[in-house]
Amino acid sequence: MADRITDDELRDYLAIISKPDLIAWLMDRCRGDEKLRAALLDLATPKENTEALVSEIRDRIHQAWQLAKHRDGWKMALPISRELDQVLTSIQSLIEKERPREAETLLVEFLTRAEHGAGQVDDSYGHLDSTCQEAITLWGQAWAQVEPRNTGQLAQLVYERIHGDVASIKGEMILKFAKALGAEGLRTLQLRLKGDLEALPQPDPKRLNRQAYERTRITQWLKEIADALGDVDEYIALVELEQQSHIEAVPVARRLFAAGRSEEALVYLEKCTSRFASSESCDCQRLKSQILVALGRKEEAREMLWQEFADYPSMFRFEPIPEPTPDEDKAQAHQRAAALAESHRTPERCWTG
């Protein structure tokens, strides 16, 4: 850690020292603390001169992955991710200093090294995965600040990356690059992926093979583009093309409702089959109640929610009930919920283990 110094000594020193001398002195004082030294470098580096910071960050990326070469290097996912998280903080500071090109270059090196190192360590707990997800987020932010940028070339970059082998290097990349791509870049990427989808056989629910898997991947990417463009109709078209209305009824209804299309949302929600409604019962019922309230059908929403609570009493199922309940009846609603929950606790309903 930095050497100890009294407040008076520091005050006297700062009164006479210049900024460059102060930075040099602080760097010398924190020689034994690499994280403090890196944080100081992030803070002190001016916008106009970031070479030292870029070099420091590049070295730290290399040093982090040296941990994988230890005798038990395959166990080092957490220590490596902690070091790399600090690296990402420094790269974020580059973006904030309006140096997006330098940040973008470093993030390419960061992710390339992560791709190579992914097979060297056991990341069962997802430590490195979450770090790489954050790197993708920063990469999209950096590209969004690069001016000028060729959105066609950027769309090609995203296309190549999402087809890569390492899942953590491409997770939700389209959404994270949406601002940088803009509508033009998103449309370019969409056209390319639609061509890929058209080249595959039509979906067959009875056959699960490599081509079916590829359709699922491409369809998911096209859904991300539809969300980024705010195009609910395109999202619905994809769902129906893949014959998934019964599976995706809740996600589609949620998007229609958010778009102010409550009547359509309610109709689409009815497409949800009992099999998939049961797996999303709480979400489905809560969403339906919100739609009914928006349509002015509060009484119907309230009765539906009470029925759901009576069948499966819990705080989660009670939470939406007060919304369609008149203010003067809310205290009574709490009493009713308590009584229903208590009546549910009978010997026949209890699991005795």
Domain extents for the chain? 1-32, 245-346
| Between 70 and 192, residue with greater pLDDT | 192
Distance between CA 32 and CA 40 in Å, rounded? 13
Q: What does the pLDDT look like over 137-150, one tens digit per residue?
A: 999 999 999 999 99
Mean pLDDT for the chain overall: 85
- Report the amino acid identity of residue 217: R
Over residues 84-93, mean pLDDT: 92
Write down the pLDDT at residue 212.
82
Phi and psi at residue 321, to the nearest 5°: -65, -40
Q: End-to-end CA distance of the chain, in Å? A: 55
Write down the pLDDT at residue 293.
94
Write down the pLDDT at residue 148.
94
Write down the pLDDT at residue 272.
77
Over residues 266-285, mean pLDDT: 69
Write down the pLDDT at residue 127.
93
Residue 204: partners with Cβ closer than 8 Å, 6 or more residues away: 212
Kindly state the tokens that stand for 96. Answer: 């904030």
279 pLDDT band, cuts 50/70/90, is very low
CATH (residue range 245-346): 1.25.40
